[in-house]
Chains A and B, each alone.
Chain A
Amino acid sequence: MEKIKKVIASLTGILLSIPYRLMAQDEGSYIENLGVQDSSYMEEGNPIPAGSAAEQASGSGNTVIIIVVAAVLVIAAVVFFILRKKKK
Chain B
Amino acid sequence: MNKAFHILSAQNGFAAILVLAAILLGFMAPKAAVNVDEQLHYPHAKKVVNWYFTLGEDRSCLDTPKSNLKYYGQSVDNLTALINRVFSIENEFLLRHYAGAFFFWLLLLFSGMIARKVTGSYQVATITVLTLLLMPRLFGQAFGNLKDIPFATGYTAGVFMIIKFLKEMPRPRWRTAVFLGLAIAFTVSVRAGGFILFGYLALCIFTFLFWKPFYLNSVSTKPVFVRLTGQVTVILFIGYFAGLLFWPFALQNVFSHPLESLNLMEHYSVNIRQIFEGELTWSAQLPWYYVPKWLLISTPEFIMVGLLFSLFFVVREFIDRKYSCENCLYTIFILFVFVFPVVYVIAIGSNLYSGIRQMLFVLPFVGILAAIGIWKFVKWLAGNNKKLFFPSITILIALAFLPVKHQAATFPAGYVYFNSISGGNKKAWSNYEYDYYFHGIKQPADYLINLAGNDDIKVVMNCNLTNYFSTYPNIEVGYSRYLERSSTDWDYAIFGINYIHPHLLKNYKWQTTEVIKTFYHKGNPLAVVLKRVDKNDFYGIEAVEKGNFTEGQELIKSSLQNNLNNVWLYVQLAKANLLAGNASEFKKYLNEGKTIHPFYEPLFMLEAQYYYNEGQYVKSMNILKELVEINPLYPNAQALKNDIENKKLH
Interface residues of A (CB under 8 A from B): 27-31, 33-43, 45-49, 51-52, 54, 56-62, 64-65, 67-68, 71-72, 75, 78-79, 82-83, 85-86
Contact = CB atoms under 8 A, between A and B. Distances in A.
Contacts of B272: 38-40
A16 B269 CA distance: 48
A27 B647 CA distance: 13
Contacts of B56: 60-62, 64-65
30 contacts: A28-B612, A28-B613, A29-B609, A30-B608, A31-B606, A34-B602, A34-B606, A35-B487, A35-B635, A36-B601, A36-B634, A38-B273, A40-B269, A40-B282, A42-B66, A43-B635, A46-B65, A46-B270, A48-B65, A51-B256, A52-B257, A54-B63, A64-B251, A64-B252, A65-B52, A68-B251, A71-B245, A72-B245, A75-B241, A79-B178
Interface stretch (B204-212, B355-363, B636-644): B636-644
B224 interface: no
Closest 8 CB pairs of A and B: A61-B56, A54-B62, A34-B602, A40-B271, A57-B252, A30-B636, A38-B499, A39-B272
Contacts of B241: 71, 75
B571 A57 contact: no
A46 B64 CA distance: 11
B21 interface: no
Contacts of B270: 39-41, 46
A78 B177 CA distance: 11
B353 to A, nearest CB: 9
B260 interface: yes
B379 to A, nearest CB: 36
A85 B256 CA distance: 35
B9 interface: no
B481 interface: yes
Nearest to B501: A36
Contacts of B643: 27-28, 30
B66 A36 contact: no
A34 B450 CA distance: 35
Contact of B66 (A35, A46, A49, A72): A46
B251 A30 contact: no
Interface residues of B, number: 70
B62 A57 contact: yes
Contacts of A65: 52, 55-56
B242 A71 contact: yes
Contacts of A48: 65, 68
Nearest to A63: B56
A83 B608 CA distance: 72
A48 to B, nearest CB: 6
B17 to A, nearest CB: 29
Given A46-B65, A67-B251, A30 B640 contact: yes
Nearest to B234: A78
Contacts of B600: 36
A31 B57 contact: no
B633 interface: yes
Contacts of A27: 643
B578 interface: yes
Given A28-B613, A82-B178, A83-B178, A62 B269 contact: no
A61 to B, nearest CB: 2
A41 to B, nearest CB: 6
Contacts of B66: 41-42, 46
A30 B62 contact: no
A86 B269 contact: no
B178 A38 contact: no
A63 B178 CA distance: 27
A30 B174 contact: no
A34 B605 contact: yes
Contacts of A67: 251
A49 B271 contact: no
Given A47-B269, A49-B263, A58 B609 contact: no
A56 B487 CA distance: 41
Nearest to A35: B484
B175 A36 contact: no
